[in-house]
Amino acid sequence: MARAANPAAARAAATQILRRLREAGHTAYFAGGCVRDALLGLRPTDYDVATDATPARISQLFNRTAEVGAAFGVVLVHEQVGGERVTVEVATFRADGPYSDARRPDHVVFSSPQEDAARRDFTINALFLDPLAEPDDLATPAERAAEGRIIDHVNGAADLSARLIRAVGDPDKRLAEDHLRALRAVRFAARLGFAIDPATAGALTRHAAELRGVSRERIGDELRRILLHPSRAHAVELLQQLGLDAPVLTEAARRVEPAVLRQIEHMQPSVGVPLGAWALDRTGAAGSGLGDEDIGALSRRWRAALCLSNEESAELAAILRGHQYLTRAWSAATVARQKRWASSSWFAGSSQLVRATDSQALISITQTISKHKSDGIGLNPAPLLDGNDLIGAGFSPSPSFKRVLDDVYDAQLEGRVRDQNEAVELARRLYV
Ligand code: ATP
Ligand code: MG
């Protein structure tokens, strides 16, 4: 793949590499996702090059390479294009050997473009593109848009026009080789707005339970990508329809309308908010918020199921708890508590869930917060007092420092103490 911030630089780098391979007498094409996306009129930033040159030969032809996956026929080539350094993944045409761990082929055999297309998962992902073809040779509008000639061994161009996800070859066999392909099918269908071909969909449903054999890490990675994309609600519907929600989350299957997921913001910086939205949809707790114990159990279960990081599972739990505070406890909370919540790391994420489940509540919360912001004290002023100040004022260090400082800060947030003297005064009364 070619990684670059800008699509033009990525394409230029990949084309430069392709030209060099051709000049050296090799066959070389763009391959996989970049071809699919270019034909759809999207502007890919990741280009893969496939060639009949072996990894050793690729390393010879280019100055700066890294043989990260030479055993699988993959070499990274670094190219400089207009001041930008682009890394392109150049892979030798190959046929995959048997899959004994349903993840990676045991070995690969360097092979022809036909066989390389046949090892790929879906027909729309198995197309090659020749960007050096003469403009006169470009026959279809899609080829002209993508500025390249399509080399199609799997009838993928027709599926791309028909907007269909179809397994290359026998769907049952292809799934048995690697069950993660089920989630890839859902991701591409949702992201591109394509249908899944009935024979492929049938195989996905039949083999859904076998997804449990795939490593939780790979499942989690794929699900993150699904949930971070704006098409997430549709993807979740597909997961449910195909019976994949249960093996993905290692819990009972559910058929629920993903109403909260549909309402959250399109772009999400992290996976906590979409996971929280999905949790509310699945548990039917959108109105009431989830209870503490349920939040603990669910975030532990999903953490294991999706191989979430500590940060991700903590974020999920905090956002769900925050949603519960904001929907159930906001109006009865003290000003100090409201200010603390409003400045918490979870507040933005929880607010998204509140807006999705009870937009009126969010409006009134937002109004209260604006009032707090302009009360002359603010939401999170610097504390008037810290532990050193307490020691300076003659207190001896003790475990009750934190409680005292918390109480003094609450008083500060509510305007009950206005300067450091008043703060120390209050600390004296509290420090018993
Ligand atoms: P994306 O835009 O998500 O990167 P992509 O199609 O480029 O989409 P990659 O995961 O980058 O997807 O893989 C590149 C190509 O490798 C795919 O287009 C497909 O041809 C092939 N491929 C990737 N994963 C698999 C798999 N699990 N089984 C078969 N082929 C795969
Ligand atoms: Mg890719």
How far is residue 99's CA from residue 182's CA, in Å, rounded to a whole number?
16
pLDDT at 104: 66
CA of 320 to the centre of ligand 2 (A): 33
Atom number in ligand 1 closest to CA 48:
14
So what's the pLDDT on residue 72? 82
Residue of minimum CA distance from atom 1 in ligand 1? 33
CB of 121 closer than 6 angstroms to any ligand 1 atom: yes
Select the more confidently predicted residue: 366 or 291. Answer: 366
- φ/ψ of residue 73, rounded to 5: 85, 25
Question: Is any ligand 1 atom within 6 A of the Cβ of residue 181?
Answer: yes
Give the number of the ligand closest to the Cα of residue 46.
2
SS3 track for the chain: CCECCCHHHHHHHHHHHHHHHHHCCCCEEEECHHHHHHHCCCCCCCCEEEECCCHHHHHHHCCCEEEEEHHHCEEEEEEEECCEEEEEEEEECEEECCCCCCCCCCCEEECCHHHHHHCCCEHHHCCEEECCCCHHHCCCHHHHHHCCEEECCCCHHHHHHHCEECECCCHHHHHHHCCCHHHHHHHHHHHHCCEECHHHHHHHHHCHHHHHHCCHHHHHHHHHHHHHCCCHHHHHHHHHHCCCHHHHHCCCCCCCCCHHHHHCCCCCCCCHHHHHHHHHHHHCCCCCCCCHHHHHHHHHHHHHHHCCCHHHHHHHHHHHHHHHHHHHHCCCCCHHHHHHHHCCCCHHHHHHHHHHHCHHHHHHHHHHHHHHHCCCCCCCCCCCCCHHHHHHCCCCCCCCHHHHHHHHHHHHHCCCCCCHHHHHHHHHHHCC
Residue 65 has pLDDT above 60, yes or no: yes
What is the Cα 108 distance to its own chain's centre? 29
Q: At what angle do helices 216-228 and 272-283 cross, to 10 degrees?
A: 90
Interior/surface letters 90-121, b for 16+ CB within 10 angstroms, e for the rest: bbbbbebeeeeeeeebeebeebebeebbbbbb
How remote is the CA of residue 350 from the centroid of ligand 1, in Å? Answer: 34
Query: What is the pLDDT at residue 108?
Result: 77
pLDDT of the residue at 2: 55
Contact at 8 Å (CB) between 262 and 230? no
Does the C-beta of 352 come closer than 6 Å to ligand 1?
A: no
Rounded to whole angstroms, the Cα distance separating 157 from 142 reads: 9
CA of 211 to the centre of ligand 1 (A): 18
Beta carbon of 96 within 6 Å of any ligand 1 atom: no
3-state secondary structure 75-101: EEEEEEECCEEEEEEEEECEEECCCCC
**What is the rounded distance in angstroms from the CA atom of residue 103 to the CA atom of residue 179?**
8
Ligand with an atom nearest the CA of residue 104: 1
Confidence of residue 4 (pLDDT cuts 50, 70, 90): low
Residue 33 CA to ligand 1 centre (angstroms):
6
Task: Report the atom number in ligand 1 closest to the C-alpha of 96.
Answer: 29
Q: Is the pLDDT of residue 1 over 60?
A: no
Among 86, 100, 88, CA closest to 58: 88
Cα–Cα distance for residue pair 194/299, rounded to 1 Å? 32
Residue minimizing CA distance to atom 3 of ligand 1 = 33
Unique residue bearing structure tokens 């603990």: 296
The answer, yes or no, to whether residue 147 has pLDDT greater than 80, is yes
Radius of gyration of the chain (CA): 28
Ligand 1, atom 28: closest residue by C-alpha: 121
Evaluate: CB of 178 within 6 angstroms of ligand 1. yes
Mutate to test the pocket of ligand 1, among 45, 121, 181, 228 (most ligand atoms within 8 A of CB): 121
Over the stretch 205-237, which tens digit does the pLDDT of each residue have? 999 999 999 999 999 999 999 999 999 999 999
Ligand 1 lined by 120 (C-beta under 6 Å): yes
The atom number, within ligand 1, closest to the CA of 32 reads 18
Beta bridge partners of residue 57, listed in sequence order: none
Mean pLDDT of 153-170: 98
Confidence of residue 285 (pLDDT cuts 50, 70, 90): confident
CA of 121 to the centre of ligand 2 (A): 13
User: 421, exposed or middle or buried, with CB in 10 Å at 0-12, 13-18, 19+?
Assistant: exposed
Q: How far is the centre of ligand 1, averaged over its atoms, from the C-alpha of 32 (Å)?
A: 6
120 CA distance to ligand 1 middle (Å): 7
**Chain segment 105-117, per-residue pLDDT in tens:** 667 789 999 999 9
Distance, CA of 284 to CA of 359 (rounded, Å)? 17
Mean pLDDT of 158-168: 98
Average pLDDT, stretch 292-316?
97
* Confidence at residue 3, expressed as pLDDT on a 0 to 100 scale: 66
pLDDT for the residue 82: 85
Q: Is the CB of 247 under 6 A from ligand 1?
A: no
Question: What is the per-residue pLDDT for 309?
Answer: 98
Please classify residue 255 by burial: count the beta carbons closer than 10 Å to its beta carbon, then call 0-12 exposed, 13-18 middle and 19+ buried.
Answer: exposed
Distance 65 CA to ligand 2 centre (A): 19
The whole-number average pLDDT for the span 135-155 is 94
| pLDDT tens profile 22-61 | 999 999 999 999 999 999 999 999 999 999 999 999 999 9
User: Which pair of structure tokens corresponds to residue 169?
Assistant: 């070859």
Whole-number percent of the chain with pLDDT over 90: 88
The span from the CA of 349 to the CA of 98, in Å, is 44
**How remote is the CA of residue 223 from the centroid of ligand 2, in Å?**
16
| 123 Cβ closer than 6 Å to some ligand 1 atom | no
Would you place residue 101 in the very low, low, confident or very high pLDDT band (cuts 50, 70, 90)? low
- Output 100 or 203, whichever has higher pLDDT: 203
Taking CA atoms only, the protein residue closest to ligand 1 atom 8 is: 33
